[in-house]
Every structure is written in structure tokens, then in C-alpha cells.
Amino acid sequence: MRWLRRVLASAIVPLILVTAAAPSAQALTPRWIRRIDMIVAGHPISVMVGDDGGVWYRHGTAVERPPASNEKLLLSMALFDRLGPGRTFQTRAMALDVDVDGTIADNLWLRGQGDPEVSEPRLARLAQRILDAGIHRIDGRVIGVTGPFQRDWFAPGWKSYFPRDYIALPTALTFRGNVDASGTHISDPERRAAAYLTRRLRELGVRVEGKPGAGTAPPGLSVVATITSQPLRTLVRHMDMRSVNFSAEVLGKALAFDAGDPGSIANAAAAICGYEAAHGVAATCHDSSGLSYANRQTAAGIVRMLWVADRQPWAGTLRMSLPDGGQGTLKGRLAGVRVRAKTGTLDNASALSGWVWSDAADTWIEFSLLTSGMNEYAAKDLEDRIVHVLAVNARDPAP
């Protein structure tokens, strides 16, 4: 039997050595992943990180959470996809007829297409172009057109005071962000735009008989003069850098209108969710700005849409429209980090999604961080800690 014991012992010893040498599952996990696991442990946060369609890290990625202003990131994609980064919006002075002597016997109509940045200097330029077109007299009045967008000003999931404090009335014809000199949101931007244009025309020597007003335009109008917005890429950059709710809802209505639907907040939201659905991502959308607490997105869905964007010719334009570390809505955050990301903030909800440059992988990687049920400042601290780890240490964990 002694020989049998020797044979058994010789078989067991290598097995013990192999077992002892085998690394634990934790030891096989990259250190950067273990660090993020420690950061997110016990917190209501969803994290998705990946590159070129491959998932590098996931935590709670299927949990639906309010995206807050990350909805603007998805709106930006839908806008570029349908309209293109170079699209512009015209603000037109129109009339039924112009006499040979430069007289408009009826009204001059001022009609917008969804430029959210119409201002006094722009309308002053339009007044000069009306004069240059040979107009010297308007027997009627200047009237701001109240269409073609619907003039709705609320969405499911908005708090009752949002129209007063956080979002001005989104209209097709805008004027000074649809606020007055004191910053109060106004309900008659079309009339105020007409009033300013009237004043400028009179200063140029054009006789305008009637008082400015607002109303529905008649059919059969012809263009007298036009001003053009900045290209969509610039409007989107202004919107995303400062997270401008007003611009988001105006441009959302323009998106819906271009698709052949009435330009409303609900139709704009449907267009965003429809764009996601076309790429296999399910979501719940009620507005374009992300103010709605009833909106729902997942971190996995947002990253998948970033992957879709990466395959488009406008991918670089979209990335550069987002704040860099220490810039725009990231002011005071992630300074020195090479990141392009959209922030989002509601009461007890926060979001940060976009691209961060990984030094370890030497490439841009996509990420989405969504929290709900957490204090804003605690959530943003988690976001910043995770992005710092990604920027320095993240690399593809696949062998």
C-alpha cells in the first residue's frame, strides 16, 4: 500500500500548486473597474462605458431614470440627423403685394421658422433690407405671425412654475429669448418683434401707418426681405454649452414641424423618442429640454445612441458642441480633463453623458452616468470621480 500512497501524493501536489497559483476573480478584474465599483457601491447610479460598440463597464444600465438635460444631447442628435448641421432658419418680412412706388397697401407680416436667437441687431438688419428692397411706405401695420408652431407652454412632468422661471414660451418667431428687459418671460414675443421692427423702419424713414400687432398670416404672402439664423451647428453649440431650455424647445418644435407634424412640445418629444426607437433604443420623452421629471432614459440607451452618432458624418460636430472640462455647464468641474459631455440637473436627479479621452487606451470612449434619488452635489461628486478614473486608467478589459 506504501506504493499507492506515493502515487496519490505525486498526483495531489501538482493540483495543489495549480490551485494555489490560480488568481482570484477579483485579481483578474482591472484595477480601474474595481475603483469605479467602490465609487458606485450603494448609490442609485447607472454607469455605462464603452468604445466602438463594445461595453467596458456597466452598472445598473437598464434602470430607467430622468435624463434631465441629457435630453438635449439626444435632441442634438435628432436635429443633426434630420436637418443637418448646416441648416439655417429664416425670419421673413412678407406682404400680399408691393406697389411699383414701394408702397405696401396692406400689412407687412413678420414670420419666423424657429430661430431661437432673433435679437434687436438682427431685426435692425432686416429693417435695412426692407428699405433696400425699395419699401418706403406701409399703409397697414407690421404684424408678427403667431404660427406656424403651436404656442403650447407645458409638458407632462413639468412643475407648475417652470414656464414662469425656467422656460420661456417657445415660438416660431422669437425675440430676445422671449423675455423682457427685466428677464421676465413674456407671452407676446411676436407683437414685440413687430414693434421693434416698426420702430427701426420709422427711424430709417419708412412710413408705417398702423400700430404693431400679432396674428395669423393670410395665404398668398410673398417675401420682401429675409434674415437668416446662424447654422444649426452653432445654435446647438449655444444650447448645449449653456443648457438653454428655451432653445431646446424651439428647436424641438422645428424638428417636429420639418417632419410634417404640428410644431408642438409633445410632437418634438415624440420625434426624439422616434429617432431613438429607429436605432433600437426604448425611452420615454415628454419634452426636448429635459425639464420633465417624467422623461425616462437608460445609461445603456444613451451610450448606444452615442455609438450611433459616432458613425455619422456630424459626429465631430456633435462632440464639439458639448462642454469641455471647466467650460459651460462644466464650469468648476473636471478642469484639465479632456472630456466632452452634456450635464443634466433636476431635484434629486443628475446626469453626465458624452465622451472622455482615455490616456491609457489613447482614444475617445463613450459614457453615460445617470443618478436619481440623490442630492445634486453628491451625485456630481460621483460623476467627477468616475470621469477622472476613466480619463487616466480606463482601457478595454477584454483579453
Q: What percent of the chain has pLDDT over 90?
A: 92
Is position 12 within any domain? no
Return the closest-CA partner of residue 297 out of 51, 58, 44, 62.
62
Last residue in a domain, options 229, 255, 276: 229
Cβ neighbours, 10 Å, residue 230 = 13
Q: For 245-271, what is the mean pLDDT?
A: 98
Contacts of 4 (CB under 8 A, 6+ apart): none
In a domain, 11, yes or no: no
Residues 387 and 330: beta-carbon distance below 8 Å: no
Euclidean distance between CA atoms 15 and 148, whole angstroms: 78
**Residue 9 scores a pLDDT above 70:** no
Contact 223, 151 (CB under 8 A): no
Asked whether residue 362 is assigned to any structural domain, the reply reads yes
| pLDDT in the model for residue 398 | 87
The kind and range of the H/E element at 130 are helix 120-132
Q: What is the pTM of this model?
A: 0.92
Is the Cβ–Cβ distance between 127 and 201 less than 8 Å? yes
**Do residues 187 and 259 share a domain?**
no
Tell me whether residue 18 is in a domain. no
Both 237 and 220 in one domain: the answer is no
Q: What is the pLDDT of residue 8?
A: 42
Residue 198 sits in a domain of what CATH number? 3.50.80.20
Q: Within a domain: residue 76?
A: yes
17-26, 97-106, 217-226, 303-312: lowest mean pLDDT where? 17-26
Same domain? 298 vs 159: no
CA count, 13 A, side-chain hemisphere, 256: 24
CATH number of the domain enclosing 326? 3.40.710.10
- pLDDT range class, residue 23, cuts 50, 70, 90: low
From the list 325, 313, 342, 357, the residue with the least C-alpha distance to 75 is 342
Instruction: Please determine, for residue 66, whether its predicted confidence score (pLDDT) is greater than 90.
Output: yes
For 67, the 3-state DSSP assignment is coil
Examine the domain organization and report whether 81 and 109 are in the same domain. no
Cα–Cα nearest to 180, from 270, 191, 23: 191
With cut-offs at 50, 70 and 90, classify the pLDDT of residue 26.
low
Question: What is the arithmetic mean of pLDDT over 230-237?
Answer: 98
> What pLDDT shows up at residue 13?
41
Number of domains forming the structure of the chain? 2
Contacts of 250 (CB under 8 A, 6+ apart): 114, 115, 116, 149, 170, 171, 172, 174
CB 146 within 8 Å of CB 214: yes
If asked whether residues 266 and 143 sit together in one domain, one would say no
Range of the domain at 36: 28-85+233-393
In this predicted structure, what is the pLDDT of residue 4?
42
pLDDT > 80? residue 212: yes
Residue 21 lies in a domain: no
Same domain, 256 and 367: yes
Percent of the chain at pLDDT > 70 equals: 93
Q: What is the pLDDT of residue 11?
A: 46
Q: Nearest to residue 291, comparing CAs of 188, 164, 157? A: 157
Same domain flag for 211 and 77: no
Is 3 among the domain residues?
no
Q: Are residues 370 and 292 in the same domain?
A: yes
* Residue listed under C-alpha cell 480619463: 391
Q: Are strands 363-372 and 108-111 parallel, antiparallel or unpaired?
A: unpaired
Q: What is the pLDDT of residue 19?
A: 44
One domain for residues 302 and 346:
yes
- Output the pLDDT for position 27: 57
Asked whether residue 132 carries a pLDDT value surpassing 90, the answer given is yes
**What integer pLDDT is reported at residue 15 of this predicted model?**
40
| pLDDT confidence of residue 24 | 54
**HSE on the CB side for 6, CA within 13 Å?**
3
Whether 249 and 368 map to the same domain: the answer is yes
* Residue at 119 is within a domain: yes
Residue 363 pairs in a beta bridge with: 358
Q: Does 202 share its domain with 165? A: yes
Confidence grade of residue 28 (pLDDT, cut at 50, 70, 90):
confident
pLDDT, tens digit, 9 for 90 and up, residues 76-127: 999 999 999 999 999 999 999 999 999 999 999 999 999 999 999 999 999 9
Residue finishing a domain among 203, 229, 255: 229
Write down which residue in 208, 229, 250 finishes a domain: 229
Task: Name the 3-class secondary structure at 234.
Answer: helix
Whole-angstrom distance, CA of residue 237 vs CA of residue 253 = 18
Mean pLDDT, residues 193-222: 98
pLDDT at 282 (0 to 100): 98
What order of strands is seen across the sheet that includes strand 137-138? 103-104, 137-138, 207-208
How confident is the model over 205-230, as a mean pLDDT?
A: 98
Question: Are residues 146 and 173 part of one domain?
Answer: yes
247/289 Cα distance (integer angstroms): 8
Rounded-to-integer distance, Cα 289 and Cα 269, Å: 9
- pLDDT tier at 53, thresholds 50, 70, 90: confident
Q: What is the pLDDT of residues 354-364, one digit of tens each?
A: 999 999 999 99
Average pLDDT, the chain: 94
